[in-house]
A and B are shown apart, each in its own frame.
Chain A
Amino acid sequence: MTDALVDARALRKDYGQQPVLRGIDLRIATGELLGLIGPNGAGKSTLLRCLIGLVQPSAGQLSLFGLDPRDAALAIRRHTSYLPGETGVYRHLTGRQFLEFALGFYPGRNRDLERRLLEEFQLPLRDRVRNYSAGMKQKLALVATLVPDVELYLLDEPDRMLDASVRFFLRGVLRELRAADKTILLSSHHLSEVETLADRLSFLLDGRLVPEAHVAAARARLRRRPRIRLKPGRELPPGGHIVRTESDGVLVVETDGDPMRWLQSASGDAIASVEIGVERLEDLYQLLLAGGDGAAP
């Protein structure tokens, strides 16, 4: 037993012979906002489903609020609100009916937040959900998930199908919940957005959480990769090699030594433009997936 609100140790989940979670160790303290980052198929949704008790782990220990979801899933769900990765809204109900249905399961609701969310989202609550766009359905699901007054929010890609202004608003709401000492586990593809929000980031790759030191090393390495555009007819100066050529002709380069020194020596006659410090999530996954200490510089 620890002080952590969520405590997973050596958590495994196999579907037949296929391992999806390969020994997850994860602790989330009360009032913490943890960002869970990972590519599709990494096991993020399975991990969230294990936490809420929808999926039984194959091995390992798990506790939320000091309770094991295998024995006390119902008690855990009374204090937890979960947004599934797939938007689950009843198409035959009106927006209002759906919200009453979804919120009716919880004893308390945050009325002020409900009012502000509905005001911001401008959902036609009298219309049937079948007439909603995908983004509107996601907003409706968000209202149903964020309004219950619970201690833990498990959000599986809440920013899916939302435009930039709504994502910005959502970040503010999550900050408010965080300030109110609510615990949030936020799974997302948007590294930069989660990073500005989360107290801590965890990378889930191929069913494993990547150690923070590896992530830090990989990100440092990524930030040192110049993204350059060569002048016409020029070749890449010695001391650098191309990692990737992007569709717009930009070359992502890794240098043998200090990239700044390499740029200073090469930029005059070969390089037309340069950008440095850019992190692409795909590149980060690639580096981390290179395995073991492959992420280290």
Chain B
Amino acid sequence: MIWRKTWRELFAIAIAYVLILEALAVPVLLLWPDIYADLQRSSLFQNLGVDFLKRIADAVSTSDEDIAYRNWCATMLLFRSCNLVATAAAVLVGTGLFARERENGTFEFLLARPVSRASLLWQKVWPSALVVTTPIFVVNASAIPWSWTLDLDLPRWELFLASLHAAVFALAFLLLTTWVSIVLRVQAHVAAVVGAFAVVQIGIYMTQRIRRFSLFRLVDFDWYGPVLAGNTPAWQMFDPFRSHGYTTYLSLACAALYLLCLRSLRRSEP
């Protein structure tokens, strides 16, 4: 029952989110031949002062067009669109999950139903998680047929792995926002706190000396590029002992945040 209501509340957001992601993806894919030609001719990008931008420029202008195109997709679909839009969607969806109930005076009504807090949380989180993560897979998968129009191809398994990683990151942001939404009582406050956190993380990422401390380091081009190029096999994404294991760390963070949400919800009073 609660999941149906949650789904009803999120349906419009889900549609808008898919359309935005797709609208961001299609032009950058279809413009690829022109961009690649320009990159081959221009030395502008080679002289960029910011190191990660220079690495991206190098990667997308490499002479092997297949590899260059994969790097382009890693940059534009995953590094740009997913980090920007999926994070925003996670914050938007998570903000309303509990703070809106408090603002509308329905939180007490909901808590008084014969349903456990664990079930209440689960029935609110899983539709939200689907809304936030599914479009990442759908839109990234749609890049495959779009690429065919350019006589190019994208590796399905690698694209799935990269999308999975992006989805787990978005899920972590959703759960973080959900937790703040349980703790704080006003939606605007939740959005301000999580938004400020995201801005600070982006600021850290943009500062070269402290970049390694930014959460966005886990989802930047240096991660997606090798995954999509096939240089980071699945075990390296998940094995924290023999490799980075970033996806595992993000998954553990999701689990920890979910438990934190549950603990806070169990303690919360109307």
Contact = CB atoms under 8 A, between A and B. Distances in A.
B109 to A, nearest CB: 3
B5 A101 contact: yes
B151 interface: no
Nearest to A104: B1
B105 interface: yes
A59 interface: no
A141 B104 CA distance: 14
Contacts of B269: 49, 54-56
Contacts of A91: 104
A195 B56 CA distance: 78
Interface stretch (B113-121, B180-188, B242-250): B113-121
A89 B106 contact: yes
B107 interface: yes
A234 B8 CA distance: 71
A87 interface: yes
A181 B270 CA distance: 30
Contacts of A89: 106, 109
Interface string A197-209: 0000000000000
Nearest to A91: B104
Interface residues of B, number: 20
Contacts, number: 58
Interface in B2-19: 4-5, 8-9
Contact of B109 (A56, A88, A104, A106): A88
Given A84-B108, A86-B108, A90-B5, A105 B270 contact: no
Given A77-B113, A105-B1, A106-B114, A88 B108 contact: yes
Contacts of B110: 88
Interface in A62-113: 74, 77-78, 82, 84, 86-93, 101-102, 104-106
A20 B96 CA distance: 30
A52 interface: yes
Interface string A105-131: 110000000000000000000000000
A76 B112 CA distance: 10
Contacts of B4: 101
Contact of A52 (B105, B106, B112): B112
Nearest to B107: A88
Contacts of A52: 112
A52 B113 CA distance: 10
A82 B5 CA distance: 20
A105 B115 contact: yes
B111 interface: yes
Contact of B105 (A54, A78, A86, A105): A86
A49 B4 CA distance: 27
Contacts of B109: 84, 88-89, 102, 141
Interface string A30-59: 000000000000000000010010111000
A175 B114 CA distance: 25
A90 B112 contact: no
A257 to B, nearest CB: 51
B206 to A, nearest CB: 39
Contacts of B8: 92-93
Nearest to B110: A88
A109 to B, nearest CB: 13
Given A54-B269, A55-B269, A55-B270, A90 B104 contact: yes
B113 A105 contact: yes
Contacts of B108: 49, 54, 84, 86, 88
A92 B107 contact: no
B9 to A, nearest CB: 7
Contacts of A56: 269
A93 B5 contact: yes
Interface in B33-72: none
Nearest to A74: B116
A92 B113 CA distance: 19
A166 B1 CA distance: 30
Nearest to A82: B112
Contacts of B115: 74, 77, 105
A91 B106 CA distance: 10
Contact of B270 (A77, A78, A84): A84
Counting chain A CB atoms within 10 Å of each CB, the highest count among B5, B9, B109 belongs to B109
Most chain B C-beta atoms within 10 Å of own C-beta, residue among A56, A82, A86, A88: A88
B105 A101 contact: no
Interface string B255-270: 0000000000000011
Task: Kindly list the 9 A-B residue pairs having the minimum CB-CB distance in the complex, ordered from nearest.
Answer: A88-B109, A77-B114, A88-B106, A78-B114, A84-B108, A82-B112, A105-B113, A86-B105, A104-B1
Given A49-B270, A88-B104, A88-B106, 7 more contacts: A77-B113, A84-B109, A88-B108, A90-B5, A90-B106, A101-B1, A104-B1
22 contacts: A49-B108, A49-B269, A52-B112, A54-B108, A55-B269, A56-B269, A74-B115, A78-B114, A82-B112, A84-B105, A84-B109, A84-B112, A88-B104, A88-B106, A88-B108, A90-B106, A91-B104, A92-B8, A92-B9, A93-B5, A101-B1, A101-B5
Interface of B: 1, 4-5, 8-9, 104-116, 269-270
